[in-house]
Amino acid sequence: MNSRVVFWVATVFLLSVVFPVQSKAEEELEIGDSIERHIEEWLEMYRHFHAHPELSFHEKESSAYLARQMRDAGFEVIENFGEYGSEGYTSYGVVAVLRNGDGPTVLVRTDMDALPVTEETGLPYASRVRVEDDGGGEIGVMHACGHDIHMTNFIGVGRILSEHRELWKGTLIMIGQPAEEMGSGAEAMLRGGLYEQFPRPDYALTLHLHDSLPAGSVGYTPEYAMANVDSVDILVKGVGGHGALPHKTKDPIVVAARIILGLQTISSRLISPLDPVVVTVGSIHGGTKHNIIPDRVKLELTVRTYKPEVRSRVLEAIETISRNTAAAQGIPDGLLPVVSTPENDIYTPAVYNDPELTERLSRVFRNELGEEKVTVLDPVMPGEDFSRYRMEDNQVPSFLFWLGSLNPEKARRMKEAGETPPPLHSPMLEPDPEPTLRAGVRAMSSAVLELMRK
Torsion, Cα of 174, 430, 401, 204 (10° steps)? -10
Residue 221 CA to residue 100 CA, distance in Å, equals 31
pLDDT for 25 equals 64
pLDDT for 31 equals 86
pLDDT along the chain (454 residues), means of 10: 54 48 65 93 98 98 98 98 93 98 98 98 98 87 98 98 96 98 96 97 98 96 98 98 97 98 97 97 97 98 97 98 98 97 90 98 97 97 97 90 94 88 96 98 98 94
pLDDT for 134 equals 73
* Three-state secondary structure call for residue 137: coil
pLDDT for 17 equals 47
pLDDT for 4 equals 60
pLDDT for 272 equals 97
For residue 13, count other CB atoms closer than 10 A to its CB: 10
Q: Would you mind telling me the total number of residues written for the chain in this entry?
A: 454
pLDDT for 23 equals 62
- Give the DSSP per-residue string, 117-131: ----S--TT----EE
Residue 454 CA to residue 439 CA, distance in Å, equals 23
Residue 140 CA to residue 343 CA, distance in Å, equals 26
This prediction's pTM: 0.91
With 0-12 / 13-18 / 19 or more C-beta atoms within 10 angstroms meaning exposed / middle / buried, residue 349 is buried
Closest CA to 110 of 127, 93, 130: 93
Residue 304 near residue 227, CB atoms below 8 Å: yes
Rg (CA), the chain: 26
Domains and CATH numbers, the chain: 25-227+355-452 (3.40.630.10), 228-340 (3.30.70.360)
pLDDT for 14 equals 52
